[in-house]
Structure 1
């Protein structure tokens, strides 16, 4: 994300804004998952490992901050190398590549190509789910997740338009990216609820469907990479405390609701955590 979502995002947008969104919101946003991270900490807490759970959040957040900073710095180093090789414009540092996907014909062609690819992938995933579902296991869960994963991406893309708007007509707290916040918190809550259902029903078919939805929809709906980019951007402003407030709100709200949704049923019903 430090490369394609921060340092080189303007270069990619110069070629195609849709490509920039696809790489950052689509690929990188889906590659990382906040809901899975939160759920693992809930499972540790439910088992009584509160200290390890707290350390998991602290160490995880530290790694996130270091990773995004490292990515940005290495990307700047690569840009410096491009400048030395005279491959970027000296005025703005943007690549000298002049090709742009900004015409109607180019956009329609790209859309058709990617829709065909999506259809093929959906078809392959559906066929493999049909073949593997009756046997259960990780293979069936994986291919089911591939089928439903795009739903999470689309929801997160839709919620992204809430970032920077703030609350109400006056736009209070515009510095909080509410779109990302809602995506991460809601995904964490649904992830916890699905885990509770999985423990309560405890059948092979239910496990396959629930795990597929968790891994696919919730994994793609929540994101750490975008969260990290926003956290890093806030740290570089004149009010860096906002980054830590934003991180605290995201983690505390998700974890607190997760305790109500997952841990309390676990403690009262005596479920066993499937590790």
Structure 2
């Protein structure tokens, strides 16, 4: 039996109090960060190639089904507003298409050729990098996509919570994060999902920093899509140029980004 399907360490959940349930879930969650830490060497190896390809104009693709697919789409969708990159730089695809983001699409994950068809819609090439996300490591949609990508010479990684699973065999850079049984048996939206989210955060954030979208520790290329972000950007400029709030805000709105406002030297 795979780790992600193994029996929970807790039983008779319906008889536990709210306090007992919360403490049990929290107890299980505390092990996730350690598992991710153990996978850092694997993540680093994948990132070395990801950064190299993206610096040369390549893109990063995520494919997954269910929770795994949604997490990939979430990570990809957050990069444009956070780092100011185009929506075509990091692309998340889910089995069943956009409808599956909100509702389960029955049997969509069982098609071994659909992921490649989805990737073809974006004209994926050897210049790009593909990450298959599959908690179980057995998702046909992900395995098939990685297999066909490999045949076309496209570099790939996987993020899975089952070591030595099938998805590992078809990935160039497997990232294995075994987090043990879920609090609710088989519910990989819990610890496995948390682990995958943590790894995706590391991958996209590190790549964006390496590509120059962060200065110091600031999101200097973030999109000014609401007043909170305008205020944040204004304060960044105040600190960098040693000017007052109104002057900094005027510069930000004039140049459209923290980076450009700072590079203008206050003009």
TM-score normalised by the chain length of structure 2: 0.26
Q: Report the structure, 1 or 2, having the larger helix content.
A: 1
Structure with the bigger percentage of strand: 2
Q: Comparing both chains, which one has the higher relative contact order based on Cα–Cα distances under 8 Å and sequence gaps of 6 or more? A: 1
Query: Under a length normalisation based on structure 1, what TM-score does the superposition of the two structures give?
Result: 0.25
